[in-house]
Structure 1
Amino acid sequence: MTTENPLTHLDSKGQARMVDVSAKEHTVREARAMAVIRMLPETLQLIVEGKHKKGDVMATARIAGIMAAKRTPDIIPMCHPLMLTSVKVELMPNLENSSVDITARCKLVGQTGVEMEALMAASAAALTLYDMCKAVDKGMIIDQVQLLEKKGGKSGYWIRKGDEV
């Protein structure tokens, strides 16, 4: 009885490898991920009112997220370099929870998915907010980094339970 290793980044000897996707079909692929950064209400107010002394914190975080998606294979060792066709990063202040809710969406036509790129975009945007605001609020918390949805490829469509529209 043989069992195939479900961890595709390991060969039969357990050594790390980049998966060969050359035989995979080119399909439209899309992924959506999120992150949340919680902070003091005063910190969020500075951001929302545009009074942070470092400038437009949200615009900088958005750009950082886009750049991170494009550089994912430089950070995550077994990720393929991808020709992304779209990266969108949305940052929504949440006054009720004293947080910024970040959603990243990545898209391409290719042979492998873009889940890691979406996760990197959301994470980098949150980290950038932290970096730019740490002088006024070192207690910020980044959490809920997660894949929300993916489309395309052999495995088709997947959505996190509870996120169905």
Structure 2
Amino acid sequence: MTESAEETDRDTDESESVTEKLTHTTAGGEAAMVDVGDKPDTARRAVARGTIRLRGSTVEAVRADEIGKGDVLATARIGAIQAVKHTWETIPLCHQIPITNVGTDFDLDDETITLEVSVETTGKTGCEMEALEGVTTGLNTIWDMTKAAEKDEDGQYPETAIEDVRVVEKRKQKL
């Protein structure tokens, strides 16, 4: 067997094992929701975090509640919580889960606002996607509410960026 043929066989074997591990596809490769019916209920918690980079003057205006659209952090908090509650409607194949608690925490620095969203549930599947949806929607809400202060003379956002969105904690505890 030539080296390239060996590599092709190895690639095929690796892709078959990856395909077998995919949980949202049928054996025929069709999209499918995972059946969690037989899994036991478990207490679960996920925490996600992300940052929005803004002009220093914009962060100061948020801190002083001087943004014309209203209280930026209060609105972003509501947006984050609503996103958590509706994740199953926006992420294909995501289960609707009973949310037992949502926490939001903002950290304002000189040129950034970091949002951390914690989600708790008791159920058969995790809540990482809910925490991530909360963070991204909360940060998008901040962007929307501050965009007038962030635009340059050409109507662009040269300094505004959402960064480092990630899950920072995932726990589960059998009941």
Whether the TM-score (by the shorter chain) exceeds 0.5 is yes
Task: Indicate which of 118, 136, 149 corresponds to 2:131.
Answer: 118
Q: Which residue of 1 aligns with 2:8?
A: none
One-letter code aligned to 2:108: P
Q: Which residue of 1 aligns with 2:55?
A: 40
**Structure of greater Rg:** 2
Q: How does 1:4-153 map to 2 (within 5 A)?
A: 5-95=20-110, 98-138=111-151, 139=157, 140-152=160-172
Q: Give the conservation status (yes or no) of the 8 Å contact 1:85–1:107.
A: yes
CA RMSD of superposed structures (Å): 1.6
Q: Which range moves more in the overlay, 145-154 or 38-47?
A: 145-154
For residues 24 and 56 of structure 1, the distance between their equivalents in structure 2, rounded to whole angstroms, comes to: 42
* SS of alignment partner, residue 87 of structure 1: strand
TM-score calculated relative to the size of structure 2: 0.83
Deviations 1:99-155 (A, max 9, x none): 00110000011000000000000110000000111111042100111011101168x
**Number of paired residues?**
152
Instruction: Percent identity, please.
Output: 36
Q: Which residue of 2 aligns with 1:159?
A: none
* SS of alignment partner, residue 21 of structure 2: coil
Query: 1:18 Cα deviation (Å)?
Result: 0.5
Q: Give the conservation status (yes or no) of the 8 Å contact 1:111–1:153.
A: no
* SS of alignment partner, residue 136 of structure 1: helix
Unaligned runs of 5+ in 2: 1-12, 152-156
TM-score calculated relative to the size of structure 1: 0.88
For residues 19 and 105 of structure 1, the distance between their equivalents in structure 2, rounded to whole angstroms, comes to: 24
